Structures are given as C-alpha cells and as structure tokens.
Amino acid sequence: MAVAFSRDGIDFSNPQRWPKYNPPADTHNFVFMDPKTNRYVLVTRVWKDGIRIAAKSESSDFLTWTEPEEIARGIGFENQVYSMPVFFYEGLYLGLASIYHDGDRSAGNFDTVDLSLMYTYDLRHFDWIEAGATLIERGKGKYPDGDWDCGCIYASSPIEIDDRICIYYMGGNGQHTNFRETSLGRAWIDKDKFAYYAAKDGSKEATLTLRPANYYGEHLEILADIEDDGWIDCEFIDVINSSYFDEVASARGRKQVTRITKSGWNKIILGNMSTSYLAEKPLSLCLKFRNSRIYAIEGDLAIIRQERLERG
C-alpha cells in the first residue's frame, strides 16, 4: 500500500510506501475524512480463512496508518463483502457493500455482485440493514443478452441533489470473473428513504413498537409511503420499568395520537397530551399500519439505549 499527493489533482508525487503494515487491498479502496474524529479513514479489504473481509485503517497525517482491523463480514462464502464505500449521514455511518457470491457454483447468482446497505454508529462493526436485501437491484438476464447491469454492481459514495440521494455505480452485464461489458449508471432515492419497515405479509396489519424515548417537545414527524387504502395509527405506550422486552406486556395505558393516511412527512398530532405529560416518563411510540412503508421519525425525542441490549 502506498500514498501520493497532488496540488491540482492531476500531477501526483511518486508513491510513498506505508512505513508499517501492508494489507492485500485488492479491492476498490476508499478513503474519507471522519467528521467525528477529523482523522483519515481507509476502507480496504483483507482475507480471513479464504473469505473477503472489509477492514479499516486510520491516519492523522495520511502517511502513517494503523493496523487494518475488521469492520464488516458477509455470510459464508456465498455472501462476501467485496468493497464498501462509507459515508456519514444523519449521525450514522452507512456502507454501500458490494456482496460477492462465491461458493455454490450451481447457484443462479454464483460469481455475481449485489449491492447491500450496512450501517454502524462508530466504524467498529457494521450491521446489515437486512441480510440478503439489495439497495440497487441487478438487471435481468445473463451475458451476453442480459441487462447492462445484470452481473455486477459496484457503487461510489452518494451525493445529494435536490432532495435526492444519487448513487453513481459501475454495472456489468457478466459475471465477476468472466467476460463482461461495463457501463456507468446512476440510481437515486428520495432523501431519508434508504430503508423502511413494512409488513412481511402485505395483506395483513403490522405493528411496530419503537424503543422507549424521552419526549421534550411537540415536534414529532413521520416519513412514510402510504397506498390509497393504507394508514398508520400512532399511539404512545406508558413504560413502567426500564426493561424494553417487558415494556409492551406491562404497559399500563395506551394513548392514541393520530391516524395518518397521506405519503410524505406528516406531523404526529399530540392531541390533548401535553408536553409536560410526555416529559414525565419514558414512552414508546407504537405504530399500527397497513399497506404502508415507514422510513423515518424525527422530532423532539431522545432514544433511550439500554446497556443490556447494546452488549447483545
């Protein structure tokens, strides 16, 4: 591994080898400035037991780097993290993980690459948003007659344009280790719609109970896509004790707040519930919904993070 410098982004100095450590780095290496620490972070790749592993190194001067440490791992040989641009978004680090499918040569997705979304709070360990889910779906078919991105997808760090998150990516119409033609593509999503909650069975009503939180004001909004016959009912659950797992069973009262039927950002009306009542105790927001996708909630609240849960 080596680094180089340039004043104009065109003419670079001769590469300077890392004075210590030398990861295999046979991947799309990605460097960014961590806004939390003001240190350079390199996301690269190492190997463990024949499996590709995403790893990171840090540096304060771009010359001396820490020993690479694992930050993200796939699931077996069939789902390996090939590369992963990382970016900071609304207090989270998100990773656009290209997932390489190895292992079972008889599988329909063998030697192809999908794009999945991962996240972390601290850059030490990335979790899946949903294992096996794709952020950008590969095209249909196979080489040479398939769609232009039916074989592989490798993304760059996204950019925001007019309330949209745009992701430029390389799409290939063949397998990773086989012949393929590659093209540059762009996908986009609306801002704050990276992931959502929805009913697994679309014909049934679903319930989502959020972690207990302290509410300290009247500003509370929810972002959702709601079909014509869909709705979301919002209600608060009083929390008796600090145990999240016991909270729903021991709730001593529910106070319905509002029903939402329109897509987009909607204000959750508190009705006759005063902010002083909300501030008295931790409360969980319980959402019952049908034919809806719930993306985000924002407002005057602070999530209570139980240490028992965080230790796993």
Report pLDDT for 248. Answer: 47
Report pLDDT for 255. Answer: 63
Fold of the domain built from segment(s) 2-190: Tachylectin-2; Chain A (2.115.10)
pLDDT 10s digits, 216-264: 888 999 999 999 999 999 988 876 554 444 444 445 455 667 899 999 9
For 206-310, CATH gives 2.60.120
Residue ranges of the domains in the chain? 2-190, 206-310
Q: Contact at 8 Å (CB) between 285 and 207? A: no
Dihedral-angle region of residue 305 (phi above 0 means left; psi in -120 to 50 means alpha; beta otherwise): beta
**244 closest CA partner among 272, 222, 217, 213:** 213
pLDDT 10s digits, 15-70: 999 999 989 999 999 999 999 999 999 999 999 999 999 999 999 999 999 999 99
| 15-32 core/surface letters (b: 16 or more CB in 10 A; e: else) | eeebeeeebebebbebee
